[in-house]
Amino acid sequence: MLALYIVLAVAVVFVLWIIGVYNGLIRLRNRTKEAWSDIDVQLKRRHDLIPNLVNSVKGYMTHERELLENITKARSQAMSAQESGNTQDLAKAEGLLGGMLGKLQIAVEAYPDLKANQNVGQLMDELSDTENKIQASRRFYNGNVRDFNTKMEVFPTNMIAGMLKFTKFEFFEIEDAKERDNVEVKL
């Protein structure tokens, strides 16, 4: 009879442990999805600001029309990548768009009249703030991905995660090393 109680106690402890592991994985997965949603919100904000900025700047910057057109194309590519849900494509498109916006910021500084325009100044401040929020959201997302993936890889949680068909998340990274370089604008 004592052996039966011991077996039952071990079984209960094992079931409770599995429940704890499962709940921990679910908690981390949901945090990671929330972090991805935060990136999504900031990217949407960025995509909404760009047309306003481009339209405000167009009247002043007739010489930089190609830059403005490239920004519009990069925005469209980023929005398409965002809709596809592919992390790698989105990271690449957003890296390209970020580089273009950096070029625009430098070009705006070359035009004193444009720089003094309140509307453009406010939009540039909003865009700069959004870029900072995107970077913070990416770091937060990548931290959650790291935590989730680590939990899935460590023993003995990896066995439970494998049996329950949990899959790893991909980090949000810039693929092309050139995108990490400083932006150079030649006027």
| CATH for 89 | 1.20.1440.20
Confidence of residue 117 (pLDDT cuts 50, 70, 90): low
Give pLDDT, residue 177: 45
Give residue 91's pLDDT. 82
Range of the domain at 121: 21-180
* pLDDT of res. 54: 74
Distance, CA of 71 to CA of 58 (rounded, Å) = 12
**Has residue 142 been placed in a domain?**
yes
Mean pLDDT of 70-96: 84
Percentage of the residues of the chain whose pLDDT score is greater than 90: 26
The answer to whether position 10 is within a domain reads no
- Average confidence (pLDDT) over 31-46: 87
Question: Has residue 32 been placed in a domain?
Answer: yes
**3 pLDDT more than 80:** yes
For tokens 């011991």, the residue is: 6
The first and second tokens of residue 81, run together, are 């990548």
For the segment 41-45, the average pLDDT, to the nearest whole number, is 85
88 within domain boundaries: yes
Please tell me the predicted confidence (pLDDT) of residue 70: 83
Q: For 1-10, 54-63, 177-186, which range has the lowest pLDDT when averaged over its residues?
A: 177-186
- Tokens in use for 103? 């070029």
Average pLDDT on 57-85 reads: 78
- On whether the CB atoms of residues 43 and 97 are closer than 8 A, the answer is no
Task: Please indicate, yes or no, if residue 11 is contained in any of the structural domains.
Answer: no
Q: How many domains would you assign to the chain?
A: 1
Strands (E), the chain: none
Tokens representing 12?
């209960």
- Judge contact between 107 and 99, C-beta under 8 A: no
Answer whether residue 178 shows pLDDT above 50.
no
